[in-house]
Amino acid sequence: MATPIEFANQLREKFGELLSAPVEFRGEATLTVSDPGRIVEVCQFAKGTLGFDMLLDLSSIDNYGEDPRWTVVYELYGTGHHAHLRLKTSVGEESSEVPTVCGVWRTADWHEREVYDMMGIRFSGHPDLRRILMWDGYPYFPLRKDFPLAGKPTELPEVAFTRSAPLEGGPFVTVAGGKDAIAREPRVRNPEE
Amino acid sequence: MDVSSPASGRGPSTAEFGYNSKIEGEVVHTTVDAALNWFRKNSLWPMPMGLACCGIELMAVGASRFDISRFGSEVMRFSPRQSDVMIVAGTVTYKMALAVRRIYEQMAEPKWVIAMGACASTGGMYRSYAVLQGVDNILPVDVYVAGCPPRPEALLDALIRLQNKVGKETITRDLKRDAAPEKYGSLGIELGERGEVLQR
Amino acid sequence: MATQTIEFKDPAARASAAVAAASDDDIQDLKGDKLVLNMGPSHPSTHGVLRILVEMDGETITKAIPDVGYLHRGDEKIAENMTYNQFVPYTDRLDYLAPLANNVAYVLAVEKLMGIDGAIPPRGQYLRVICCELARISAHLLGLGAFAMDVGALTVFLHTFTEREKIYNLCESLTGARFTTSYTRVGGLTRDCPPGWIQAVRKFLDEVVLNIAESETLLTRNRIFVDRTRDVGVISRQLAIDYGLTGPNLRGSGVDYDVRKANPYLVYKDLEFDVPVGSVGDCYDRYLVRMEEMRQSVRILRQCLDRIPGGADNASREPVSIQDGKVTLPPKTKVLTGMEELIHQFMIVTQGVNAPPGEVYFGAENPKGELGFYIHSRGGGTPYRLKIRAPSFVNLGILPEVLPGHMMSDIVSILGSFDFVMGECDR
């Protein structure tokens, strides 16, 4: 039963400079793939030769203010050898496109749809890339750092509407002596109130 | 509320089945209001809109320990056409909102709504882009139940409060609503100054 | 979905008009037309708000498209605005049938990030295992009750709910809430168990085995139940791994992967228990796996109750949380009198527990599968990105593959045997 760092080194031997040096943190190994276009090759090697037959998780990070803006994170696991491995790849905002790994692990289908829905990263070659948690036609990508937690008002007749939750920016404050509980509720208030 | 009750200012409401009703042998004299209200309130069949964690407490209320059928809610009818009160139990998201509204519209009059839990009442602890901040943005709610989730006893208390409220209603309650359709918002319900849904 | 206008014409006139308008080829097509049925977000099966668009040819399903997201509440975005301890109540509401297990999984992930997962006192670890296993019994009881109710056996539902009421009583005396407990904190637990609680759990265990045995006599050899679940929803081993299934769904298909055995956490490596693995991968196997898991949980619980350091009444005053002011709240008596404790209290409450920059993934064996938390931290008290790997979300991805070929009434069996929770799936 090899440790994650050993698997990471085996991957690095095969792919050389495409992968960064493995970062070891809390017993886990993370490799960064410098070219997102070749992520499928790396995944296929990891699944076929190294035995990482399960893709546990596929997530995305918004590096707001940095370039490349998006990082896609793949969490791999092997049911035979019980080792985890993490692969990361970054892609810039102009292209926002990463090849899909649906051909390697079928579970990536729904994970990639969720990443598209929440972050807006497209996956080329995906069989059915449409929104999964929000509805088709929702104009924003909620998990981006520039999208507020409160949301923005939208309207799609017969399907769904949204409004801003009473939260826009800033801390919650209450008013001493408001006329009823609704007026006193701690919420964001404009300075003139 | 009961300012419109015919009995206001004249003593106890005649809409309630009570001491005004004379019993002579096997015949009971009472008002139509009182009789109808008595029938309605003691057989409120819920339509459980169990969306999230409050749905589990709703199931617990329907199970044998906190039996809701003791209070007349004999069956949890999952068909809106056969139920009287819709218990919105759980977080209503924007994606789900129009489905809830559509199901409410399919219910036959008379109908009432209990907003169970913090999420259904006001959006609860989920002040986010995807959660409707209170189901009263789309439905006229009769009773709000606080709690996250409310204890089954709290839901039963809400049901009893609803029964008391039903007991005070007059037979003309729906006629007022149909009289002035231009007052009502785009969803066919009357909106107040803050955009909240007013009572019928 | 586009809305269609319905014109109420006289049915006979409409039918004859249609026949007149159709040519021979059209009539052939009409005969072969498939029905699209919408199993809408609100349906009687108590699994929550899942919508499935089913295309059927007669009674047989040809295509199934699940539509999730009706309970998407934005947990991951909320997590970016909350401190690590403030997010614990949100984890309760993920898999709301087993909130204690979610709490434990989340704080274990945060503790792994901070590097203090080895420093949790043993009494705290045993209590966490007790919480996880109680949650497992509770979730499986409800899953089985709902499954049986959907398939038609209503009695089992009422029996399992009565047992769950006992678990609720235990949770209430331990944490203060029936469910949605928010019991764990980073570095330990909120409080120790109250006196008499361990004895109450022991008494409960004696009763629950009888109840499980009773449910088993009602279901396992029941001809109707077996007919409805055997060879229905068969998932092969390879397909299960490829689709990332975990938990009883994976083990029902024959893959022996249980996080408690593969990558043990807390005190699971010291405990003796077996992991049931199915052979065929049908609904009946998944049902049997869950039944046996409940019995194994009872076994684990008995061992924990016997071995818990400090015993039932904690006479030796073992701590349940790390006694480090930078991680857990100091005792209130000291906070109001000592300077350092006051500062620690203030920092933890307002700014949160300070986590180092880095990223971790931690997966725990939850009743529904492997609940994983991927935390990407850039220092400070709030995570930069928290991804919740929800087992129900991943398990539902296999529906478009499994449902076609079955009859419509098998949908209910398959969904019940998957035992998913929409709160977790949509987060």
Say if residues B171 and B33 touch (Cβ distance below 8 Å): yes
Substitution target in A138, A162, A164, A185 with the highest count of B β-carbons within 10 Å is A162
Give CA separation, C126 vs A73, A86, B118, C119, C189, in Å. Answer: 33, 30, 33, 13, 11
Chains that touch B (3 or more CB pairs under 8 A): A, C
Q: Are A126 and A153 members of one domain?
A: no
B53: left (phi over 0), alpha (psi -120 to 50) or beta: alpha
Hey, are the CB atoms on A167 and B194 less than 8 Å from each other?
Answer: no
The predicted pLDDT at position C290 comes to: 93
Tell whether A62 and A97 lie within a shared domain. yes
Q: Which residue of A has its CA nearest to C66?
A: A132
- Is the Cβ of B62 closer than 8 Å to some Cβ of chain A? no
**Under an 8 A CB cutoff, do C162 and B63 touch?**
yes
Residue B39: per-residue pLDDT:
87
Residues A154 and A186 in one domain: yes
Could you tell me if residue A23 is inside a domain? yes
- For CA atoms C178, C184, C185, C188, give the dihedral sign: positive
Whose CA is closest to C188, among C91, C344, C320? C320
Residue C329 DSSP class: P
If you measure CA to CA, which chain A residue comes closest to C81?
A149
Residues A117 and A157 in one domain: no
One domain for residues A79 and A111: yes
The pLDDT score that the predictor gives to residue B85 is 92
Which residue in chain C has the smallest CA separation from B92? C71
Averaged over B15-30, what is the pLDDT? 68
Sheet holding A70-77, edge to edge: A23-25, A28-33, A84-91, A70-77, A54-62
Decide: A59 and C387 in contact? Cβ < 8 Å: yes
What is the structure's pLDDT at C138?
A: 93
C-alpha A103: how far from its chain's center? 19
Cβ count near B77 (within 10 Å): 17
Interchain pair A109, C397: CB under 8 A: yes
B131 touches chain A (CB under 8 A): yes
Q: CA-CA distance, A58 to A73, in Å (whole number)? A: 6
- What per-residue confidence (pLDDT) applies to B22? 65
Band of pLDDT at residue B6, cut at 50, 70 and 90: very low
Establish if A162 belongs to a structural domain.
yes
The answer on pLDDT for B18 being more than 90 is no
Q: Domain range holding A167?
A: 148-193
Q: Are residues A162 and A123 in the same domain?
A: no
pLDDT value at residue C427: 86
pLDDT digits (tens, 9 = 90+) for A120-163: 999 999 988 889 999 888 888 999 888 877 778 888 877 788 88
Tokens read off for B66 = 């906190």
Of all residues in chain B, the one with the smallest CA distance to A153 is: B129
Tokens of C288: 């049997």
pLDDT in tens, B176-192: 555 444 544 444 556 66
Helical pair C154-175 and B53-62, crossing angle rounded to 10 deg: 120
- Assign B102 a pLDDT band (cuts: 50, 70, 90): confident
Across the interface, do A73 and C3 touch by the CB < 8 Å criterion? no
Please judge whether C73 and B131 are an interchain contact, meaning their C-beta atoms are less than 8 angstroms apart: yes
Chain C positions in Cβ-Cβ contact with residue B59 (cut-off 8 Å)? 46, 161
Q: Could you state, in order of their start, the residue ranges of all structural domains in chain C?
A: 11-67, 75-426
Q: Which of A30, A57, A133 sits opposite C72 (nearest CB)?
A: A133
Q: Are C70 and B91 inside 8 Å of each other by CB?
A: no
Asked if B22 has any chain A CB less than 8 Å from its own CB, the reply is no
Q: Which helix (H) or strand (E) holds C189?
A: strand C188-189
Option in B99, B103, B126 nearest C73 (CB): B126
Give pLDDT, residue C390: 92
User: Is C21 in a helix, a strand, or coil?
Assistant: helix
Cis before C194? omega within 30: no
Q: Which of residues 122 through 141 in chain A touch C, CB cutoff 8 A?
A: 131-135
C391: closest CA of chain B, how far (Å): 17
CB contact under 8 A, A151 and B133: no
Q: How far apart are CA A145 and CA A173, in angstroms?
A: 24
In a domain, A105, yes or no: yes
Co-location of A105 and A128 in the same domain:
yes
Considering CB atoms only, which of A158, A160, A167 is closest to B94? A160
How far B51 CA sits from the closest chain C CA (Å)?
Answer: 6
Chain C interface disruption, residue of A56, A70, A87, A149, most C CBs within 10 A: A56
A143: closest chain B residue by CA? B129
pLDDT in the model for residue B186:
43
Q: What does the alpha-carbon distance between residue A116 and residue A94 come to, in Å, rounded to a whole number? A: 15
Q: C-chain residues within 8 Å CB-CB of A118?
A: 76
In a domain, A143, yes or no: no
Report CB contact under 8 Å: C42, B99: yes
Please indicate whether, in this complex, the C-beta atoms of C73 and B91 are within 8 angstroms of each other: yes
> Looking at the structure, do residues A25 and A61 belong to the same domain, yes or no?
yes
Based on the domain organization, do A129 and A174 belong to the same domain? no
Residues of B in contact with C73 (CB under 8 A): 91, 93, 126, 128, 130-131
Judged by CB atoms closer than 8 Å, whether chains meet at B129 and A162 is answered as yes
Cβ of residue B186 closer than 8 Å to a chain A Cβ: no
Is A79 at the interface with chain C, CB within 8 A?
A: yes
Average pLDDT over residues B10-22: 58
Residue A106 has a CB neighbour count (10 Å cut-off) of 18
pLDDT at position B64 is 85
Residues of C in contact with A26 (CB under 8 A): 112-113, 115, 358, 360
The per-residue pLDDT for A180 is 60
**Per CB distance under 8 Å, which residues of A are interface residues toward B?**
133-135, 140, 142, 147-152, 158-163, 165-167, 182
Supply the pLDDT for residue C127: 92
C259 to chain A, closest Cα gap in Å? 9
Check if B154 contacts C (Cβ < 8 Å). Answer: no
- A10 & A102 share domain: yes
Residues A109 and A191 in one domain: no
Comparing alpha-carbon positions, the chain B residue that sits nearest to C92 is B53
* Same-domain pairing of A49 and A133: yes
Q: Which of B25, B19, B40 is closest to B84 using CA atoms? A: B40
Distances (CA, A) of C396 to C244, C267, C400: 10, 31, 9
In this prediction, residue A4 has a pLDDT band, given cuts at 50, 70 and 90, of confident
Q: Which of B56, B59, B131 sits opposite C74 (nearest CB)?
A: B131
CB distance from B194 to chain A under 8 Å? yes
A24 inside domain: yes
**pLDDT band at B114; cut points 50, 70, 90:** very high
3-state helix, strand, coil in chain A (%, to 5): 25, 25, 50
Kindly determine whether residue B97 and residue A149, on different chains, have CB atoms separated by under 8 Å.
Answer: no
- Contact residues on chain B for A132, CB-CB shorter than 8 A: none
Which of chain B's residues have a Cβ under 8 Å away from the Cβ of A148?
129
Question: Comparing A128-137, B32-41, B138-147, C127-136, which segment has the lowest mean pLDDT?
Answer: B32-41
- Residue C49's CB is within 10 A of a number of other CB atoms, namely 31
HSE on the CB side for C62, CA within 13 Å?
Answer: 9
Q: Report how many Cβ contacts below 8 Å link chain A to chain C.
A: 91
How confident is chain C (427 residues) per 10-residue block, as mean pLDDT? 51 63 52 79 76 87 90 89 87 91 93 89 92 93 89 86 91 90 90 90 93 89 88 90 91 91 90 91 92 93 90 80 85 88 86 86 92 89 90 91 89 89 89
- Tell me the chain A residues in contact with residue B95 when contact means C-beta distances shorter than 8 Å: 134-135, 160
Q: Please report the pLDDT score of residue C303 as a whole number.
A: 92
**Interchain contact, A166 vs B127, CB within 8 Å:** yes
> Is the predicted pLDDT of residue B4 greater than 50, yes or no?
no
pLDDT at B14: 62
CATH of domain C75-426: 1.10.645.10
Number of domains in chain A: 2
Chains touching C (at least 3 CB pairs under 8 A) are A, B
The Cα–Cα gap between B103 and B138 comes to: 12
Please name the residue of chain B whose CA is at the shortest distance from the CA of residue C1.
Answer: B99
In a domain, A167, yes or no: yes
State whether C385 and A62 contact (CB < 8 Å): yes
* pLDDT-derived band at B193, boundaries 50, 70, 90: low
The whole-angstrom distance between B97's CA and the closest CA on chain A is: 7
